[in-house]
Structure 1
């Protein structure tokens, strides 16, 4: 297919360059704004086309050499070729555009972006595994841009070094197993002092394979667990007993969790995010606070240290149990937890009908649209919204402003996933 020349004028939300060809948007993987490039079509669609760079004819001053040799092949990162300050600027621009386009709102004040270490930060993740006969090896890594394929990695610089520097060792381990074709994925979960690997296997493992997995754990100082079926089937292989936990230092809270539980991926950023959330919420001694989508108490228990009462609500019953146990673990008696599917209305529930001074929302990517049909109630004068998707935040911001009478006073981005196009953000709404 013939190549042609384009000029890149902006970035998409997923980190691709945008050019215009006869008025039609062209998304160019690996290109940055201000660059001219020789490109070749990779896909044609009704409203946009896709292309890949054949040759860069000019380079942006913001371009940097990717740190990882697999950048461009592995789908785990999208922005390693863009300098760190410009990455965070791009994410804030995505948030601002979503506010304006979807919510028809903009914050009265932009918060300074929150950043932390940009390499070796990822303490939670899922590596795909595939034995490939033609290569005579097990591929261990994230998916490529085409999700049908597992990237052939030797290293990952965003994962904790305990795992990211041992990709080749994991590949060799799996290749040595009799059940090499039956290992489907490896779940990574790290607490403050333990890094655990959960091996998902599609058939029972023999004693020889179990011995090899345990020996790998001992040799590398990694806890090894097995998952033969669903989430409830996870069991420790080595050592016999594994406890994962992490501390939120400013609040003097220590949270225990299980390997498949949701926790924030970036430990350093989580410390900063909790601190900013507490600051924006402005929780005080006499306050009653509602924390929706509370998980295992990441925000709930630090807030509990400051208020009269906090109520946490979460759809995953196991996380609710873990949150209640974490309250006991930390000697906290003013946190009340409830299990409820927040994708449906709970307007008549006792916890929803109670009065709250402040509301914290930390929903999944789909946002909090269902909750905002019946909350916040009139007595709530402050809402802090932690978001992992700028589009749903922008939609819900419009609802809080137009239907509930709030003002979007402050908002900003938090770089939870450096070098990816993922945008984590936080917003404060006040009556």
Structure 2
């Protein structure tokens, strides 16, 4: 049978006025026109705005603010001159206090919806640097023939085109200040049309650039990047194909290229490679780790299990307080990095193992031991499978660090069914000016 295609209804061309009733989880204003729900980018709850339609669906429409007719008291002047065009941030028009309140409300709603519970105590929001905080980023690159220059940055809102920006106030200052110099360097390259992406990664005092190139880079172009690294005190990597092809071209000495960051509260240093997962916001991370360990109430006779441990961001600090710590991670390279970081900090009471935490763990050697406290820091998909494996430890306390309130709430429901109570929870502003919600929760038997 031939499939029938419906012609897409053309969008109204004239702007319309809408009263914004609330805010969606994605940070868009929500209102109604002729009874139909409309999501409006750039609008805040309680505002009356003039908007234009950007998309129409069967059950709802989408639009963006053209003019604010009656502003919310939460509306502020965005700190970035490119805001509204660049899609990297979505909430710079909202005061920081209002952003936090919105994220706390999302967490509260998710606990109620998925777990039918809420914490006995709401923790105050953990906040730190609001600008210049982003130490890792993947930036799009495109040489635009019509403009005869290279664009570097994030995509435009509602578009696949790269935003034309010359700085980014949420990136660490060093990288933000290099956006235009990197653009000019690529302009001068023979292979300027074959650079689709640049990744940046920052340690406490070193900065790495990974240049993705789709065709072999000429010696002349490579020399330009090496010179750029020398001039700007950068570590330069090239990536001709997949992640396993990343290789350093400057400096020659691995010691001079080593990225690292410290946890001053524990007097430890962790080494990392530029593609390693690391918390994006260094200032929040320095507060978050001691905060989590304080909630876990780690004592000198505790045996602690750290799940989804990565390179040891929590594991190494935990080992300075506990009797013994075991870190479990699914990526072998991160397990090796964790072991190296334990050796770097001269800690002999910590072990690292690789394991698929979504699989059956009954035969794992580390799973035969007992732990009285557990820390979990999973990816966005959460920790549902591993929770069913670890409740048998009957740990007195579990601290769960989450980057997705929906999966945290879902997993909370499982922990509650297994005999735990949600004692404390709150948000951490890991990504200010975005709708990303980082949170932390304490469970007790």
- Give the TM-score, by structure 2 length: 0.94
Q: Secondary structure at the match of 2:290?
A: helix
1:305 Cα deviation from its structure 2 partner: 0.9
2:347 counterpart residue number: 332
1:23 Cα deviation from its structure 2 partner: 4.1
Deviations 1:280-325 (A, max 9, x none): 1111111111110000000001001111111111011000000011
2:442 counterpart residue number: 428
Q: Secondary structure at the match of 2:339?
A: helix
Q: Distance in 1 between matches of 2:351 and 2:129?
A: 34
Contact 1:4–1:39 at 8 Å: present in 2 too?
yes
Of residues 283, 297, 305 in structure 2, which corresponds to 1:282? 297
Of residues 55, 64, 79 in structure 2, which corresponds to 1:67? 79
TM alignment of 1:23-172, pairs within 5 A: 23-146=35-158, 148-172=160-184
Contact 2:372–2:393 at 8 Å: present in 1 too?
no
TM alignment of 1:6-405, pairs within 5 A: 6-146=18-158, 148-241=160-253, 242-402=257-417, 404-405=418-419
Deviations 1:187-217 (A, max 9, x none): 1111111011111111221121112112222
1:144 Cα deviation from its structure 2 partner: 2.3
Q: Secondary structure at the match of 1:429?
A: strand
Q: Distance in 2 between matches of 1:147 and 1:264?
A: 27
Contact 1:368–1:396 at 8 Å: present in 2 too?
yes
Contact 1:415–1:424 at 8 Å: present in 2 too?
yes
2:422 counterpart residue number: 408
1:3 aligned onto 2:18: no
CA RMSD of aligned residues (A): 1.3
Contact 2:139–2:197 at 8 Å: present in 1 too?
yes
Q: Secondary structure at the match of 1:8?
A: strand
Contact 1:359–1:376 at 8 Å: present in 2 too?
no
Which range is displaced more, 112-121 or 353-362? Answer: 353-362
1:81 Cα deviation from its structure 2 partner: 0.5
Contact 1:254–1:330 at 8 Å: present in 2 too?
yes
Which range is displaced more, 160-169 or 370-379? Answer: 370-379
Q: Distance in 2 between matches of 1:328 and 1:378?
A: 28
1:419 aligned onto 2:433: yes
- Give the TM-score, by structure 1 length: 0.97
Q: Distance in 1 between matches of 2:33 and 2:120?
A: 37
1:278 Cα deviation from its structure 2 partner: 0.6
Q: Secondary structure at the match of 2:384?
A: coil
Structure 2, unmatched stretches of 5+, are 1-12
1:94 Cα deviation from its structure 2 partner: 1.0
